[in-house]
Amino acid sequence: MRVLIVEDEKKTGEYLQQGLKEAGFVADVSLTGDEGLHLATSFDYDLIILDVMLPGMDGFTLLRSLRERSNSTPVLYLSAKDLVEDRVRGLELGADDYLVKPFSFSELLARVRTILRRGRTVDQSLVQVADLEVDFLKRRVTRAGKRIELTAKEFALLELLIRRKSEVIPRSLIASQVWDMNFDSDTNVVEVAIRRLRSKVDDPFEIKLIKTIRGMGYVLEPPESA
Amino acid sequence: MRHWRNSLTFRLIFLFTLVTSVLLIGLGSITLYLTDRHFLELDETYLKDKGMLIREISEHTSDLNHLENRIRSLLSSQTGLNVLLSIKGRVLYQSPGFSLPPGVEERLQSSTAESIIEWGSGKERMRGMSVNIAQSGHDPSMPVRLIVAIDTEHHDHFMSIFRAWLWFYLLIAILLGGLLSGFVARKALTPLRQITSRASQITASQLDIRIPTQDAPAELASLAQSLNSMFERLGRDFERLSDFSTDLAHELRTPISNMLVQTQVTLSQPRQTEDYRETLHSLIEELERLSVMVSDMLYLAKTENSLETPTRTEISLDEDVRQLIEFYELMADEKNISLQSEGQARILGDRLMVRRAISNLMSNAIRHAHAGSTVRLSIAVDHAQTELTVSNEGDTIPVDIQPRLFDRFYRGDAARSHPAMEGSGLGLAITKAIVKAHGGSIRVESDAGVTRIVLRFASV
């Protein structure tokens, strides 16, 4: 997976590049819009992370020129101004998603993966991680052959974690996906929900699957990759 | 420099001069017209009078030579009067130097008797009329024709001098009027200039200066009053803004200084990897708080300044409350608090904003509720108003600090607060801003250990 980062802030660009590389992506950084457009049209990227405010050619102009050339590479744009018109404009121009600065890296990574996953994978009806098994059709959870009863919200939370296994899921994404809380809300609730889920899925067993990544979020992964 | 057309003084001078000019030119024109008419009437009377006299003489004199002598002696004392008397085409008497230019004779013949005809011959201008003479005393087969005319040159001379003086006077009067109006306009606008100079003294550091309204003319007094009340509002807003900046700096100072000290101490000597990791984690926590605070502040600013205008869709309050309860019930459960809701209503508003407003209230209520108590959300519709009340059992909030609950960064239990557990301190301020953006109101009631926050919206 190859990602292009167009970001004039040098530090941000470098850290994003490092973070994405360590997460298994190939990442290029461009400091100006003109160079970014050149790179985007010369190479075949899977995703472009685009800062809206750039010296010279700004992000929206770059995005427009890209779409005018029938280049449909997915674009995730970053904005420092959280204005409705900016949001609408970017999405109208054909961007796939946006993030408002300051954002957390785990949030960015989760969004990047969501965009890249779109249309590529068919949701499996049965997912297994170690001895934990979730059957989405029957809405049944078993671990080591034992049936585990979950509430609807607990099931939705587990579904989110297991479908994106080995990915760090930020708390804000959990609040938004499970409870439809699409704004900065009290994320202590997510902590409580995770604790409850653990008490049913992890606590009775020796191997712990749900891990807390401090400051980032939660991840469900098989023990050997830890 | 502003365009001269925008100057009030100029406009006043222009309008005043315009009105003066129209009035004076009108007066001048009427005077000229009437004078001219007066001369015409004088001439007419004179010509008729003389025509009558000659007719009288000619009707009573049968001897033509005698008649000619009589007319001649009559006319010797009448300068400027010209007479042409002819009988059957033969000129009986013609004043010396008097002749009719071609065409005039026909005009005189075709006109009714004793009506004035004007003609010009060379530099002279004449007025004349034909007079009918009865045939008695003469041979009836011989037609008698009498034409009397006077030279109007002396009238024209008078009129041209009169006209020149009149227009000269009018021009002077208009110019003087313009100058005078300029003076009057400047004088009349003096209070306005005073207000301007006073208002220009008002700066950010001197917002307490006011424009005196007692001496101002009635028309300007209300302007001065509105300016004063605007300065009043600006002053208050400015004060709030500077308070906010101070609070903001204070709020930011604590986490920044925490991070600075922690990082410096960590780096002051070599440590275990685990220690570095611990420091970084702690930094993330502080940064997350800062990030939430910045986002909340921006959101608050946008909502208060109507940058984020709410969309108006019909939303079901009870449905939103139900979903929010689903979200918060885990947290409430941890504190052994139960959440209850009652009532239903629909309002017009922005769903995301309204949910955020209610969410802040619930988070707040759960945080301050006594363990084992109940947080109630009740919706009541009363005529055109819908009220949503969030109540919790907790410490009574003293009346004097109740209004401050909705201030930015105000934390009720400052002494006991655990910053990590608290929000940004902007939750209730955001709720208030959202409700206001929806044209609603918010109030707090707290007594006997129960605190209620009531949101009021217009019903659908």
- Per-residue pLDDT tens over the stretch A120-138: 666 778 888 888 889 988 8
Put residue B303 in one of left, alpha, beta given phi > 0 → left and psi -120 to 50 → alpha: alpha
Tell me the H-state helices in chain A. Answer: 10-22, 33-42, 59-68, 84-92, 105-117, 152-163, 171-179, 188-201
- Give me the pLDDT at residue B145, please: 78
> Considering only CB atoms, which chain A residues are within 8 Å of B327?
175, 179, 181, 185, 189
Q: Angle B418-B420-B425 (CA atoms, 0-180°, nearest 5)?
A: 80
Q: Are A215 and B285 in contact (CB under 8 A)?
A: yes
- Give me the pLDDT at residue B3, please: 67
B328 touches chain A (CB under 8 A): yes
CATH topology of domain B218-302: Helix Hairpins (1.10.287)
| Cβ within 8 Å, pair A100-B295 | yes
Q: Are A157 and A192 in contact (CB under 8 A)?
A: no
Residue in this structure with the two tokens 């209503």, named with its chain if needed: B345
A193 touches chain B (CB under 8 A): yes
B425 touches chain A (CB under 8 A): no
Query: Same CATH topology for A2-117 and A126-225?
Result: no
pTM (2 d.p.): 0.64
Band the pLDDT of A197: cuts 50, 70, 90.
Answer: very high
B363 touches chain A (CB under 8 A): yes
Q: How far apart are CA B420 and CA A92, in angstroms?
A: 39
Residue A124 is classified by DSSP as P
Cα pseudo-dihedral B440, B441, B445, B450, rounded to 10: 30
| Alpha-carbon gap: A181 to the closest alpha carbon of chain B (Å) | 8
- Per-residue pLDDT tens over the stretch A150-183: 998 899 999 999 988 888 998 888 988 888 887 7
CATH topology of domain A2-117: Rossmann fold (3.40.50)
CATH architecture under which domain B4-160 falls? 2-Layer Sandwich (3.30)
> Considering only CB atoms, which chain B residues are within 8 Å of A189?
327-328, 330-331
Homologous superfamily of the B306-458 domain (CATH): Histidine kinase-like ATPase, C-terminal domain (3.30.565.10)
Structure tokens at A119: 């249309």
A 98-127: CB under 8 A from B: 100, 102, 104
Q: Are B327 and A178 in contact (CB under 8 A)?
A: no
Chain B CA closest to residue A191: B331
| Cβ within 8 Å, pair B288-A104 | yes
Tell me the H-state helices in B371-448. Answer: 427-437
B289 touches chain A (CB under 8 A): no
Domain ranges across chain B: 4-160, 218-302, 306-458
Domain ranges across chain A: 2-117, 126-225
What burial letters (b/e) apply to A124-145, b meaning 16+ CB within 10 Å? Answer: eeebebeebbbebeeeebebee
Q: How far apart are CA A133 and CA A139, in angstroms?
A: 11
pLDDT for residue A89 is more than 50: yes
Q: Angle A34-A36-A39 (CA atoms, 0-180°, nearest 5)?
A: 115
Q: How far apart are CA B191 and CA B298, in angstroms?
A: 43
| Cβ within 8 Å, pair A214-B334 | no
Of B292, B334, B355, nearest to A184 by CB-CB distance is B292
| Alpha-carbon gap: B292 to the closest alpha carbon of chain A (Å) | 7
Q: What is the pLDDT along chain B (460 residues), one digit of tens a residue?
A: 456 677 888 888 889 899 999 999 999 999 999 998 998 899 889 888 888 888 888 777 777 778 788 888 888 777 778 888 887 777 878 887 787 777 777 787 777 767 888 887 666 788 888 887 765 555 555 567 788 888 888 888 888 999 999 999 999 999 998 899 889 888 888 888 888 888 888 777 777 778 777 777 787 888 888 888 888 888 887 887 787 788 788 888 888 888 899 899 999 999 999 999 889 988 988 888 888 888 888 888 888 877 667 788 888 888 899 989 988 988 888 889 999 999 888 888 888 889 999 999 998 899 888 888 999 999 999 888 899 999 988 888 888 888 778 887 776 554 344 444 456 778 888 899 899 888 888 988 888 888 899 999 888 7
Q: How far apart are CA B173 and CA B19, in angstroms?
A: 12
Q: How far apart are CA B276 and CA B295, in angstroms?
A: 28
- Give me the pLDDT at residue B388, please: 92
B330 touches chain A (CB under 8 A): yes
- Give me the pLDDT at residue B421, please: 47
Of A100, A102, A179, nearest to B327 by CB-CB distance is A179
A126-225: CATH, from 1.10.260.40, 1.10.8.10, 1.10.10.10, 3.50.30.40: 1.10.10.10
B18 φ, ψ (degrees, to nearest 5):
-60, -45
| Alpha-carbon gap: B291 to the closest alpha carbon of chain A (Å) | 6
Please enumerate in sequence order all residues whose Cβ is within 8 A of that of B48, keeping only pairs 6 or more positions apart, or say none: B114, B129, B131
Q: Are B129 and B116 in contact (CB under 8 A)?
A: yes
- Give me the pLDDT at residue A119, please: 67
Q: Are A187 and A124 in contact (CB under 8 A)?
A: no
Prediction ipTM score: 0.78
- Give me the pLDDT at residue B196, please: 83
Q: Are B284 and A214 in contact (CB under 8 A)?
A: yes
> Considering only CB atoms, which chain B residues are within 8 Å of A83?
302, 307
Q: What is the mean pLDDT of residues A210-215?
A: 87
What burial letters (b/e) apply to B76-109, b meaning 16+ CB within 10 Å? Answer: eeeeebbbbbbbeeeebbebeebebeeebeeebe
A213 touches chain B (CB under 8 A): no
pLDDT for residue A102 is more than 90: no
Chain B CA closest to residue A171: B288
Q: What is the mean pLDDT of residues A89-106?
A: 86
- Give me the pLDDT at residue B417, please: 46
Q: Exposed, middle or buried by CB within 10 Å (0-12, 13-18, 19+), for A3?
A: buried
| Cβ within 8 Å, pair B323-A180 | yes
